[in-house]
Structure 1
Amino acid sequence: MAETALLERTRTEQAPPPRRGLLKGLLRTARPKQWVKNVLVVAAPAAAGELFSRHALIQVGLVFVLFTACAASVYLVNDARDADADRAHPVKRHRPVAAGQVPVPVAYAVGFVLAAVAPTAAAFLCSPFTSALLTAYLGLQFAYCLSLKHVLVVDLAVVTTGFLMRAMIGGLALGIPLSRWFLITTGFGALFMVSAKRYSEAVQMAGKAGATRALLTEYTVGYLRFVWQLAAGVAVLGYCLWALEEGGVPHTSVLPWRQLSMVAFILAVLRYAVFADRGTAGEPEDVVLRDRALAVIGVAWVAMYALAVADW
């Protein structure tokens, strides 16, 4: 009895305070690992060569924080809504809301507070266009959580649009015009990665019960392969048309960095397609970080693209 009491006392002393546990659960629900996706907010300023001024860095930093808050609000509301279903899932049952670490009403409350605060802050700290885009992102993502994630093809379009909005918002915050080539390449590049991930999930779940996404039972592997191949082709075409566009001939550089960057871009797409074809293309950031060759190609492309923009 004494040993049991001592053991219970030790467990009680080691357990984190309720408030500390709640805050930790809220942070886990906000998916810190996914925040790297919001680095896309630098895409438009970097493409325009206007990233490194003091004003641009401040605005991009603010936009990154605000977009992260919006994404966190979506995760919180989504997990609160799916708490009952997640408890029956072998992996998702460990999520803080499903596990009871974060009460469902608290998840809803924090999610909606973030959803209200972020666009409001953007209107005062950035621009009305930035606030409007954040509001549109939230509306689209909440609609996705409620019903759109169950609609064939539309689910791919919504997730792709979320990536495209990340890439657009930095330009809107700084008043930078977004070129058609930027939108085409970014949009179809995002669709390539999203559909490649879905394809990989479908391949891995083939012949198994309990797909992690309900729609994977309705998509065919052949269709998803068609989508990522089509998207990769359009992204490459859009990028090449930008690189070969009139006015792209360098004036100060010895080498045509703008045209040479096509090689690195195409190699990166081809290398990523290897993982898509194998059915191992999961989260885009994981694919890039775990493959050294792809990371090196990516660094080479960034360097050549930077030189091309500087020479623009």
Structure 2
Amino acid sequence: MTAGPPVLPAPELEPVPATASTARTIGWPRAVLRTSRPRQWPKNLLVFAAPVAGADRGRVVGLEPALIAFAVFTLASCAVYFVNDVVDAERDRGHPAKRSRPVACGDLAERHALLVAAGCVLLALAGSALVGSAGLSFCLAGYLAMSFLYSGTLKHLPVLELTMVASGFVLRALGGAAAARVAPSGWFVLVCSLGALLVAVAKRYTELAGLGPAAAAHRPSLRHYTPAGLRAAQRGIGVATIGAYLGWAVLNGSPWAVDCHLLTAIPLAGALLRFDWLTGRAELGRVEDLITRDRVMLACELLWLVLFIAGTT
């Protein structure tokens, strides 16, 4: 990924003044809910990855503490969104999509956003303590620290910011493993890491492709990437993800489940190919929507799940 051509000035987009919200206020509770990004909460389902992957003949261990871990990381991620929107409020006001965020448009006061963030952090820490897992507490603390550092400064550093985004996904998976008392294998961590990095690279590509020359004005790190470089990186990581998954299926699964686990690589490869195609067509869209709303993607995911369950029963 190399530096691209000189960045052109961002087009003049009329900021949305905070006072304008008085004429179209959406209400404080709804503003809080919107800022917490409910559509992003499914990311936290990664806490169930290790318990499910470690299932033995249909028996999933540690499901109850994993449910608490899901709530813990949902609260923690909400706290990060509130802080991030306060930090980026001025820049978001010039973004064609993000300008409507409650903090940016004035529907949610910055002070209130920070107070809600603090409350979410306290609740997340309390939930972690309830599980009684040092590993979960460590993953939660690491997630919060890295996310707040990312929101403050690290998001502007190319490549490093991609690894920071990917690390957030991996820490969710490791936190779920710690809560369920399931020891994750090296193959499991590698698959999670590559998959998370794949999503992070795809997100940057859609931003760069959708915003064009104005992209760097909204996310300075984008001036160091090129669309071709990001696409090549995404495809290379996709191939590596399949390779790591095959390694997990052969070397880490129960001997009686190897055949079914190998079969699950087929719908996984189909999903990655479909994801690559959808990413190439996306413009300012949420990458998460490509995974959860496309019918072909959903069909591949359902087939993967059916085959995986068959391999654990």
Q: Which residue of 2 aligns with 1:266?
A: 269
> What are the Cα deviations for residues 102-128 of structure 1, in whole angstroms up to 9, with x where unaligned?
211111122123223312331233412
Q: Which residue of 1 aligns with 2:278?
A: 275
> What are the Cα deviations for residues 23-47 of structure 1, in whole angstroms up to 9, with x where unaligned?
2211111111111111111111110
Matching of residue 194 in structure 1 with residue 192 in structure 2: no
Cα distance in 1 for residues equivalent to 2:72 and 2:114: 18
Cα distance in 1 for residues equivalent to 2:94 and 2:153: 20
The two structures, once aligned, show a CA RMSD in angstroms of: 2.8
Q: Which residue of 1 aligns with 2:147?
A: 141
Cα distance in 1 for residues equivalent to 2:284 and 2:302: 20
- Aligned partner (choices 86, 93, 112) of residue 87 of structure 1: 93
Task: Count residues with an aligned counterpart.
Answer: 292
> What are the Cα deviations for residues 209-228 of structure 1, in whole angstroms up to 9, with x where unaligned?
66542222221122212321
Matching of residue 165 in structure 1 with residue 171 in structure 2: yes
Asked whether the equivalents of residues 210 and 284 of structure 2 are also in contact (C-alpha less than 8 Å), the reply is: no
Q: Which residue of 2 aligns with 1:257?
A: 260
The structure with more radius of gyration: 1
Matching of residue 22 in structure 1 with residue 25 in structure 2: no
Q: Which residue of 1 aligns with 2:294?
A: 291
Identity %: 33
What is the Cα deviation at residue 279 of structure 1? Answer: 4.7
Asked whether the equivalents of residues 91 and 218 of structure 2 are also in contact (C-alpha less than 8 Å), the reply is: no
Cα distance in 2 for residues equivalent to 1:269 and 1:281: 20
Matching of residue 179 in structure 1 with residue 182 in structure 2: no
TM normalised by structure 2 equals 0.84
Compared CA separation, residues 52 and 281, structure 1 to 2 (3 A): farther
What is the Cα deviation at residue 248 of structure 1? Answer: 4.9
Q: Which residue of 1 aligns with 2:16?
A: none
Q: Which residue of 2 aligns with 1:4?
A: none
Cα distance in 2 for residues equivalent to 1:160 and 1:306: 27
> What are the Cα deviations for residues 181-203 of structure 1, in whole angstroms up to 9, with x where unaligned?
11111110111122122112222
> What are the Cα deviations for residues 250-309 of structure 1, in whole angstroms up to 9, with x where unaligned?
27xxx9212212222222222212223445694343113332222111111111122223
Compared CA separation, residues 181 and 207, structure 1 to 2 (3 A): same
Matching of residue 244 in structure 1 with residue 250 in structure 2: yes
> What are the Cα deviations for residues 64-88 of structure 1, in whole angstroms up to 9, with x where unaligned?
1111110111111111222233334
Q: Which residue of 2 aligns with 1:215?
A: 221
Asked whether the equivalents of residues 248 and 258 of structure 1 are also in contact (C-alpha less than 8 Å), the reply is: no
Asked whether the equivalents of residues 187 and 252 of structure 2 are also in contact (C-alpha less than 8 Å), the reply is: no
Amino acid at match of 1:21: G
TM normalised by structure 1 equals 0.84
